[in-house]
Structure 1
Amino acid sequence: MNDFILDPGQIEAESMRHIRAGLIRPWTEADIPVVERIIHTSGDPSLERDIAIHPEGIACGLKALQEGANVITDVEMVRAGISKGKLKSLGGTVECFLNSPEVAEQAKAWGITRSMTAFRLNPERLRGSIVAIGNAPTALIEVLRLAENPETRPALIVGIPVGFIGAKESKDLLWERQDIPSITVLGTRGGSPLAATVVNALIYTVLRQRNM
C-alpha cells in the first residue's frame, strides 16, 4: 500500500498532470479543462484524437452558465452525473423530460424514440440552454432539427451519444453544423459519463473564474 497515493486531491492533481503531459494536439488553454476531464473520465488517452470542440464552444458554454442557463439532458444518467448543487449556485438547474408521463404515449403515436419525443415536446426549453446528450443519437438528431429555429436553439450542444447505430452519424451531422457551438467525441465512443463530465468541466471553470 505504500506505493499508492491515498490523498484524493493529490490523486486528481497527479492524474491531470499525467494527462496534460501526454496531450498531442495543440489545444487552447480554454479547451484543456474539457479535454482533461474527458480523458480522465474515460481513462483512455487515445480518445484525444476524436475530441472535437467548436471554436466558440467553450466561450458559449461559459457565457450561458454565467447567465444562469439550465442544462437539458437526454437521459437520467447524464442528469445524475452533473454537479447540480454547483450548477444551482450559478442559477441553473438540470432537466430531463424522458420520464414525463406523456412522453411514452406520444412516442408510440409518432413512431419515434422516447428520447426524441422528450425534446420534441419541450422545444421552448432549449433556447439558451446547454443540451447534454450522452446516450441517444435520435435525441441529438431532434435537437439539431430544433436548433434550426433561433427560438429553440441551445447556447451549446454537448453531443456525445455512444453506440454503433446512428451515434457516429449523428455526431458527424453535429460537427458539420458549424453554425451551432458544440463539443463532441467523434466516432462510436461516448456515453453519459462523458457528456456529464464536459458540463461539469464548464461549471468548474465558471466557479474558478468567479473566485479569482
Structure 2
Amino acid sequence: MKKGEMIEKESFDIIEQNVDLSNFSEEEKVVVKRVIHASGDFEFAKLIYFSKEWLTDFKNILGKKPSVICDVNMVKSGITEKYLRVSGLKTYCFISDDEVIRRAKELNKTRAEISMEYAFDRFENIIFVIGNAPTALLKVIEMSKDRDDKAVFVVGMPVGFVKAAESKKMLAESPIPCITNFGTKGGSGIAAAAFNALIKVCYHV
C-alpha cells in the first residue's frame, strides 16, 4: 500500500472510531466518511441527509448520460478526473460565461442563479453539484417544480449564513432526489467529496 493510501485508510479508521455510522447503509457510509474526511468535521454524520430512494434515483440518472453542473469552479476542480473517466460524465460551470455575467447584471441577480438557469435551458438530464451559492440551490429547487421532462439529482451543500441553511432545508423537504446537509456548514470541497463518493459507490472505484 502506498503512503498516501495508508494515510487515507488511517483517516477512515479514525472516523469510524469516533462516529456512530450504524444508522447508515453501506453506500451511505461511503458518502458520509468522504464528507467527514474532506471537512475534518465529525458533526457531518449528524447533519447529512439522503432522500428516500437516493441511490436508485442516482443510478437512474446515470443511465441517462447526465451533465454535471457545478455552481462554482472550485466545485468543478474538486471532482476527481479519474471518476469522470470511469463514469463518462462531463462537468460544466457557467458562472464566468459572458452571457451569464450580462444577464446577472441586467436582471440584478447573482451569477450563480443565472448560471443554473443557463444550464437548465441547455441540458435535459442534470446532476447539480452545489457547494458555494445558496442562490444557486434555491434556483434549482424553483426550476425543478412541475418539470417532469427534466431528470435532476442534486448534491446541495452550500456554505454560509445567508439562505444556506434555509435552501438546504427546502431541498430536503422537496421531492427532488438529493444529498444535502442541515445547517450553515458545507462548501465546495464538501460538495465535490460527496459527488466523488457517489461515483465510487456506483462504479466500485
Give TM-score, length-normalised by structure 2: 0.91
Amino acid at match of 2:31: V
Aligned length in residues: 203
Among the aligned pairs, what percent are the same residue?
36
Cα displacement (A) at 1:87: 1.3
**In the alignment, is the contact (CA less than 8 A) between 2:86 and 2:203 conserved in 1?**
no
What pairs with 1:46-85 in structure 2 (closer than 5 Å)? 46-65=43-62, 67-85=64-82
Moved more, 23-32 or 122-131: 122-131
SS in 1 for 2:32: helix
1:205 equivalent in structure 2: 201
Counterpart selection for 1:23 from 19, 23, 46: 19
What pairs with 1:116-195 in structure 2 (closer than 5 Å)? 116-148=113-145, 149-154=147-152, 156-177=153-174, 179-195=175-191
Cα displacement (A) at 1:58: 2.7
Moved more, 57-66 or 104-113: 57-66
SS in 2 for 1:9: helix
Cα displacement (A) at 1:125: 4.1
Cα displacement (A) at 1:70: 2.2
| Structure 1 unaligned blocks of 5 or more | 1-5
Moved more, 59-68 or 159-168: 59-68
RMSD of aligned alpha carbons:
1.9
Cα displacement (A) at 1:63: 3.6
Give the Cα–Cα distance (whole angstroms) in 1 for the partners of residues 56 and 39 of structure 2. Answer: 24
1:95 equivalent in structure 2: 92
Distance 1:46 1:122, change over 3 A: closer
Cα displacement (A) at 1:108: 1.2
1:40-79 deviation per Cα after TM superposition (whole angstroms, max 9, x unaligned): 0011112211111112223322343355322110000000
Give TM-score, length-normalised by structure 1: 0.88
Cα displacement (A) at 1:152: 3.3
Give the Cα–Cα distance (whole angstroms) in 2 for the partners of residues 114 and 67 of structure 1. Answer: 28
Cα displacement (A) at 1:183: 0.6
Give the Cα–Cα distance (whole angstroms) in 2 for the partners of residues 174 and 64 of structure 1. Answer: 18
1:44 equivalent in structure 2: 41
Cα displacement (A) at 1:9: 1.0
Give the Cα–Cα distance (whole angstroms) in 2 for the partners of residues 37 and 64 of structure 1. Answer: 22
Distance 1:66 1:20, change over 3 A: farther
Cα displacement (A) at 1:83: 1.4
Distance 1:114 1:173, change over 3 A: same
Give the Cα–Cα distance (whole angstroms) in 2 for the partners of residues 40 and 74 of structure 1. Answer: 22
Distance 1:144 1:57, change over 3 A: same
